[in-house]
Amino acid sequence: MSIRLGDVAPDFQAETTQGVINFHEWIGDGWAILFSHPKDFTPVCTTELGYMAKLAPEFERRNCKVIGLSVDPVESHLRWEKDIEATQGYAVNYPMIGDSTLAIAKLYEMLPADEVGTCEGRTAATNQTVRSVFIIGPDKKIKLHLTYPMTTGRNFYEILRVLDSMQLTAAHKVATPVNWNNGDDVIIVPAVSDEEAKAKFPNGWKTVTPYLRIVGQPGKN
């Protein structure tokens, strides 16, 4: 069975660059991002992990922890961190999982289920499906799953944007339209009647169609 949105994120214990963790316990009562990369000491991954280090405080402000993963051992991660800081200007400030048995990569279906072996002798090409992002909510359920191709670095601002949307829509009965950014107008979901909407949005809204009602973002100053 494939992992689907709304499924409970598989729990695991793992060795990381910041010690052994139990995943659900580590998440606690906030949000979490688990993102994987194909291989240490590779160019696209180096730029990605450096930029995530730059943005980590933004995720922290949103009560969202960040953790990385590859099938390289922790010792390799620790050596690579020096290159990341030297070339990208930011020290890796979040834990990285060493998944040298491929157990977590397979648990999260980042690699084919029948993939066998360890990290020994593996290249970025053989790990090419391992460029995934999972956003996990406080209920430990998967809220977002993205997988990127080998040659395409991720846009972590987009991941931040989606997190903003999910946190907003989890707290209010709204949805976010195409190209929405934090602070933009939102959509009142169809399940909210006009009567209920009057109580929730006393300043009113714009009705485009009966099912498309535009309103200012809740909580926006």
* Domains, the chain, ordered by start: 13-153 (3.40.30.10), 172-215 (3.30.1020.10)
Whole-angstrom CA distances from 87 to 21, 50, 90, 91 are 29, 8, 8, 10
Q: Is 119 a catalytic residue?
A: no
- For residue 33, which phi and psi values (nearest 5 degrees)? -120, 125
pTM: 0.89
The first and second tokens of residue 142, run together, are 């998967």
Question: What is the spatial distance between Cα 91 and Cα 31, in angstroms, rounded to a whole number?
Answer: 22
The residue length of the chain stands at 221
Paired with 215 in beta bridges are 186
The per-residue pLDDT for 125 is 63
**DSSP per residue, the chain:** ----TTSBPPP-EEEETTEEEEHHHHHTTSEEEEEE-S-TT-HHHHHHHHHHHHHHHHHHHTTEEEEEEESS-HHHHHHHHHHHHHHHS----S-EEE-TTSHHHHHTTSS-TT--S-STT--TTTTTT--EEEEE-TTSBEEEEEE--TT----HHHHHHHHHHHHHHHHSSEE--TT--TTS-EEE-TTS-HHHHHHH-TT--EEEETTEEEEPPTT--
pLDDT tens sequence for the chain (221 residues): 588 999 999 999 999 999 999 999 999 999 999 999 988 999 999 999 999 999 999 999 999 999 999 999 999 999 999 999 999 999 999 999 999 999 999 999 987 656 666 666 666 666 666 889 999 999 999 999 999 988 899 999 999 999 999 999 999 999 999 999 999 999 999 999 999 999 999 999 999 999 999 999 997 75
Interior CA angle at 104 toward 98 and 109, to 5°? Answer: 135
The per-residue pLDDT for 217 is 93
Choice among 9, 33, 44, 45 that is catalytic = 45
